[in-house]
Amino acid sequence: MKLPVWFHRFGSPPYVYGLAGRLGPWLGAAAGVLLAVGAVWGLAVAPPDYLQGEVYRIIYIHPQTAYVGMLAYVVLAVAAGIGYIWRLKLAHAVAVAAAPIGASFTFCALATGAIWGAPTWGTFWEWGDPRIMFELLLLFLFLGYLALRAAFEERDKADRVSAILGVVGVVNVPIIHYSVIWWNTLHQGPTVSRLDSPAMTLDMLIPFLIMVLAFTLLFAWLLLNRLRAEIVEREMGARWVRQLVAEAGA
Amino acid sequence: MSEWLARLSEFAAMGGDGAHVWSAYGITLAAMLWNIWSAGRRHRRSLERAGRDGSVGAERPARTPKVRQVQ
């Protein structure tokens, strides 16, 4: 099977660097607008919850940060797998770029969940809750991936060894998602994914979905930003990078 | 004016849950800003380093093919 030319271009660092530079501002602007709309709608327009009152408004950031953490890990694992199998250096660069974003948003999910848990569950933290534990494991996987990379001086070796951890760790993502169905937890069951009868009214659901879209675009933008830095790091000394620097300096 | 301030104060209080709601949003905002700032800083530093390395005429050596020659 012959692959189209545009597909091969995604293996070229200068092409991807340029594409990321062109797409980035659009993604960032769209994410910014949607974040502003979603936050104002969620904080000021959506009605208070009949049971939780105003504190439920954390729902407009907590599930989204957890989702971005899982999305980042899936991107990391797929990219690391492609890099490992086909020895595509750009794929490893994508995996490396996704890791700190995923770690920071997973930390946010744990922190905002703890803050939400205090008034609603009566505790910041529950060691026996499977979803919290597997989310914590996700944070450790991100940190472990970054620490493992830092342990190797040779980049190629760091790419290959960390890719194994990245791919193996992806099994944690479906466990996090289904943990509320498989085990009894303090967390509620699926709310939005029950498309036949979502457990949210429309005036709460719309800003929720806007924030999901906003966080997805934000992740894409942040990933491209980090990817550009990672590409320059890896292509240090290449003629196109020197030209880029010369043009920037001119 | 005072009515507007009262409404703003009521909004900030979030029915007594203001500390929870605003701290959660604050942490998330801080994470977003950190991600933007750290990626930008790394990019800038990489370009600066590339500029320094390039100024002494360094160029990445050409790759040597790892394919064995068939006799």
Angle (CA) A138 A142 A146, round 5°: 165
Min Cα–Cα distance to chain A from B52, Å: 9
Interface test with B, best of A56, A61, A110 (most B CBs within 10 A): A61
Answer whether A95's CB lies under 8 Å from A184's CB.
Answer: no
- Band (B57; pLDDT cuts 50, 70, 90): very low
Look at A236 and B42 and tell me if their CB atoms are within 8 Å.
no
pTM of the model: 0.89
Task: Label residues A194-204 b or e (16+ Cβ within 10 Å = b).
Answer: eeeeeebeeeb
Partner residue facing A115 (CB), from B15, B24, B40: B24
Interface predicted TM-score (ipTM) of this complex, two decimals:
0.90
Look at A61 and B28 and tell me if their CB atoms are within 8 Å.
yes
Interface test with B, best of A62, A217, A233 (most B CBs within 10 A): A233
Query: pLDDT 10s digit of each residue in chain A, 250 long?
Result: 666 777 778 888 999 999 999 999 999 999 999 999 999 999 999 998 888 889 999 999 999 999 999 999 999 999 999 999 998 899 999 999 999 999 999 999 999 999 999 999 889 999 989 999 999 999 999 999 999 999 999 999 999 999 999 999 999 999 999 998 888 877 777 766 655 666 788 899 999 999 999 999 999 999 999 999 999 999 988 889 988 888 877 5
Min Cα–Cα distance to chain B from A245, Å: 6
Look at A242 and B20 and tell me if their CB atoms are within 8 Å.
no
Looking at chain A, which residue has its C-alpha nearest residue B57? A237
How far apart CA A131 and CA A177 sit, in angstroms, is 8
Q: Is the dihedral of CA A209, A179, A146, A230 positive or negative?
A: negative
Interface test with B, best of A43, A57, A223, A224 (most B CBs within 10 A): A57
Residue type, A206: I
For chain A, the straight-line distance linking the first and the last C-alpha, in angstroms and rounded, comes to: 45
Residue type, A166: G
Partner residue facing A55 (CB), from B21, B32, B39: B21
